[in-house]
Amino acid sequence: MNAPAKPNDYSAYPDAEGRFGGFGGRYVAETLMPLVLDLGKAYADAKADPEFQAQLKSYNTHYAGRPSPLYFAERLTEHFGGAKIYFKRDELNHTGSHKINNALGQILLAMRMGKTRIIAETGAGQHGVATATVCARFGLPCVVYMGATDVERQKPNVFRMNLLGAEVRPVSSGTGTLKDAMNEAMRDWVTNVHDTYYLIGTAAGPHPYPVMVRDFQSVIGAEAREQILEMEGRLPDAVVACIGGGSNAIGLFHPFLGDEGVRLIGVEAAGHGVSTDKHAASLTGGRPGVLHGNRTYLLQDDDGQIIDAHSISAGLDYPGIGPEHSFLHDIGRAEYVSTTDTEALEAFKLCSTLEGIIPALEPAHALARVGEIAQELGKGKIVVMNLCGRGDKDIFTVAEALGRKI
Amino acid sequence: MTKDRIDRRFAALKAENRAGFVTYVMAGDPDAATTLSVLKGLPAAGADLIELGFPFSDPMAEGPTIQRAAQRGLKSGMTLQGTLDLVAAFREGDQDTPIILMGYLNPVLNKGFETFAALAAKAGVDGLIIVDCPPEEADPLSDALEAEGIALIRLAAPTTDDARLPMVVRRTSGFVYYVSVAGVTGVKSADAADVAPAVERLRKASGLPVAVGFGIRTPDQAAAVAKVADAAVVGSALVDEIESAAQLNENVTEKVLLKASELAKAVRSARVGTK
């Protein structure tokens, strides 16, 4: 038995200005600055309000279906022959991914602030679907910005958002992926400051978004921690999650930050390989800069222009990463590795055939590294991976990659 | 001490009892040589101050016009260094017209604040506007620019309330740039009736001249703003001229300078007969 849980030593981050060490901050246009400051106050107020927390917990339980199970992936464990592999089953949430955790939290906050119109950006469409869902549930108009490339490769989610009553606006500037959608959402926000709430989907953007999204997603790690203690009587040796902007990973990691014996491993998307110019591994292949309101690791060229990311997974196709990950990377508390498109596809197939779970391409990136991690840790050890989304949305992309017509 | 050029220019405008006309174009749109010939022609066309954009891949506060200009600039190979080179070339023939660089933080951060400030001063840059660097984040940049005598021009917006105003004008010099509409560049139009009290409030808080931009497209709008502000900034309307001339294979420099002189005339005559 390990020692009982230690208190979280990292609770001092971010500071009042939203900085995690040298990362984070609020780099937005002056027009947005008063709104961002207001949001910070409103969130601090809501966070401390037991009524708000009770309301959120109730919706998490009865609407999203939390807690999600912690599942022992027995056949994958046998297959790799190392540490026991557990899945945190966040793909079983309502809407099929972890994104609902954050969407519920933020829409309750938006209503508390008296906002009457919701905008969001989306990559894979999972955050767009989660946002459209909560907007339908609470009767608020919803506009989702989505890169034109992503609209094409994530058609089922576009249709889903439409069914939920949201307007999806394709963004064709840049490469038409997540970063361009985020630019356009910020342009909408700056134009409609009086009534609009920008519901950011990942733990990035100007303060307080990184901390707010982290807090709403920390339900993942908090549940997983409690569940593994109950099932195994001890903490895991490693927790693993995929990273685009990094919201599911920070949600899993954060409740374990103070548990020094628990390795935190984030998996970035290596696309065609991190040595090529087609990947989305900001920590592995980028350097610090400022984009979308925060200072963080970014893919950029010699002139400081942002380089377009590439990943088979639309949800990981982002040239930046949440600032807290940059911080955890630099201080060495978390480790960051990467998975190529090809490896992710292999893991996608393996999980489908061995566990009867079709994962989203995003967690398939995490799974591709879990086998090695389990083998490296060895028998008697425990690894927990966040299965943050289900793969229904990806079957067309995967079929195409495998040369099948459906 | 190049920010003196801005102070001298506004002092001269005040003595003439007229507002300044500030033009914005993007470096490298559609290519470096054209930008240089436009820059060289702008003072004679009536520009009192020149804002020169340096392109960024993700211009979050820009409307479609300037987004496309940034894309054209990048496509032509323009960089922050290339922009500084354009300023240096312009300075060979003009020692009086202030030049303000305008863009986003990352290219400047990427160069390093001290390195950038030193190179910019050497090139003859007088001021810098960074859209995504609010005062809360600006101190390291201010330190570097102040050491080289370059003004960090601050933006104030309709959403900037009284509580925030002292923060916004802290460590600013040259002039204050009032973003007259809540929105991106070149889409909404400024309402002159709302602009007047905002300009007054900013002048009082900062003790500096106030330039107004983001919503001025036509000579009439420019004249209305020039009645109440210390300067009127026109960007998207000029960039539109560049785009259409380039598309129609017309003489870009000629077209944009013609547009600039129409707007300059409106600005210069706005206060005629008033005192």
**Does B27 score more than 50 pLDDT?**
yes
pLDDT at residue B2, rounded to an integer:
54
Average pLDDT of chain A, as a whole number = 95
Q: Which of A60-74, A162-176, B43-57, B73-87 has the lowest mean pLDDT?
A: A162-176
Quick one: A326 and A339 in the same domain?
A: yes
Quick one: A58 and A137 in the same domain?
A: yes
Q: By CA distance, what is B161's nearest residue in A?
A: A34
pLDDT < 50 regions, chain A: 1-8
pLDDT, tens only, A237-275 = 999 999 999 999 999 999 999 999 999 999 999 999 999
Residue A3 belongs to a domain: no
**Where is the domain boundary, A160, A190, A209?**
A209
ipTM for this model: 0.95
From A32, A33, A300, residue closest to B110, measured CB to CB: A300
Which residues on chain A are in Cβ contact (under 8 Å) with B158?
31
Is the minimum CB–CB distance between A33 and chain B shorter than 8 Å? yes
| Cβ neighbour number for residue A330 with a 10 Å cutoff | 16
Quick one: A92 and A103 in the same domain?
A: no
Quick one: A196 and A240 in the same domain?
A: no
Residue A171 belongs to a domain: yes
CATH assignment, B3-268: 3.20.20.70
3-state SS assignment for residue A349: helix
Active site residues of B: 51, 62
Q: What is the dihedral of CA A359, A361, A362, A363, to 10 degrees?
A: 30
Quick one: A163 and A261 in the same domain?
A: no
> Tokens standing for B263?
């707007």
CB contact under 8 A, B159 and A28: no
Q: Is the dihedral of CA A268, A274, A279, A282 positive or negative?
A: positive
Q: Is the dihedral of CA B13, B18, B19, B21 positive or negative?
A: negative
Whether the link from the prior residue into A14 is cis, omega within 30° of 0, is: yes
From A33, A174, A303, residue closest to B134, measured CB to CB: A33
Q: By CA distance, what is B135's nearest residue in A?
A: A30
Is the minimum CB–CB distance between A63 and chain B shorter than 8 Å? no
> Is A83 within 8 Å of A381 (Cβ atoms)?
yes
Quick one: A57 and A179 in the same domain?
A: yes
Q: By CA distance, what is A37's nearest residue in B?
A: B164
User: End-to-end distance of chain A based on CA atoms, in angstroms?
Assistant: 50
Tell me which residue range forms the domain holding A344. Answer: 66-96+218-401
Query: Among residues A201, A162, A199, A208, which one has the least CA distance to residue A28?
Result: A208
Q: By CA distance, what is A180's nearest residue in B?
A: B58
pLDDT at residue B248, rounded to an integer:
95
- What share of chain B has pLDDT > 70, as a percent? 98
Burial bucket for residue A360 (CB in 10 Å: 0-12, 13-18, 19+): buried
Is the minimum CB–CB distance between A350 and chain B shorter than 8 Å? no
Which residues on chain B are in Cβ contact (under 8 Å) with A304?
56, 80, 106-111
Average pLDDT over residues B117-121: 98
**Does B258 score more than 90 pLDDT?**
yes
CB contact under 8 A, B134 and A26: yes
Quick one: A114 and A258 in the same domain?
A: no
Distances (CA, A) of B140 to A14, A99, B23, B109, B117: 20, 36, 28, 10, 11
CB contact under 8 A, B137 and A25: yes
CB contact under 8 A, B168 and A30: yes
Quick one: A252 and A355 in the same domain?
A: yes
Is the minimum CB–CB distance between A16 and chain B shorter than 8 Å? no
pLDDT, tens only, A112-157 = 999 999 999 998 899 999 999 999 999 999 999 999 988 987 888 9
DSSP B60-96: TT--HHHHHHHHHHHHTT--HHHHHHHHHHHHTT-SS
Residue A294 belongs to a domain: yes
Counting one residue from A and one from B, how many pairs have CB atoms under 8 Å apart? 118
Quick one: A165 and A233 in the same domain?
A: no
Distances (CA, A) of A303 to B69, B105, B148: 17, 12, 22
Quick one: A86 and A162 in the same domain?
A: no
> Tokens standing for B167?
């923060």
Residue A356 belongs to a domain: yes
**Closest approach of B136 to chain A, Cα-based (Å):** 8
CATH code, A340: 3.40.50.1100
Quick one: A105 and A201 in the same domain?
A: yes
Is the minimum CB–CB distance between A117 and chain B shorter than 8 Å? no
Quick one: A200 and A246 in the same domain?
A: no
Q: Residue ranges of the domains in chain B?
A: 3-268
Provide the pLDDT confidence category of residue B274 given band limits of 50, 70 and 90.
Answer: low
Residue A10 belongs to a domain: no
Residue A147 belongs to a domain: yes
Query: Among residues A227, A264, A238, which one has the least CA distance to residue A374?
Result: A238
Surface of B (33-72) touching A: CB under 8 A? 55-63, 67, 71
> Is B134 within 8 Å of B179 (Cβ atoms)?
no
> Is A150 within 8 Å of A161 (Cβ atoms)?
no
**Does B100 score more than 90 pLDDT?**
yes
CB contact under 8 A, B58 and A289: no
Number of domains in chain A: 2
Residue A1 belongs to a domain: no
Residue A351 belongs to a domain: yes
pLDDT at residue B272, rounded to an integer:
82
Average pLDDT over residues B175-190: 89
Q: Give ∠ CA B57-B174-B261 in degrees, rounded to 5.
A: 70
The strand pair at B176-179 and B154-156 is best described as parallel
**Where is the domain boundary, A165, A186, A209?**
A209
pLDDT, tens only, B237-252 = 999 999 999 999 999 9
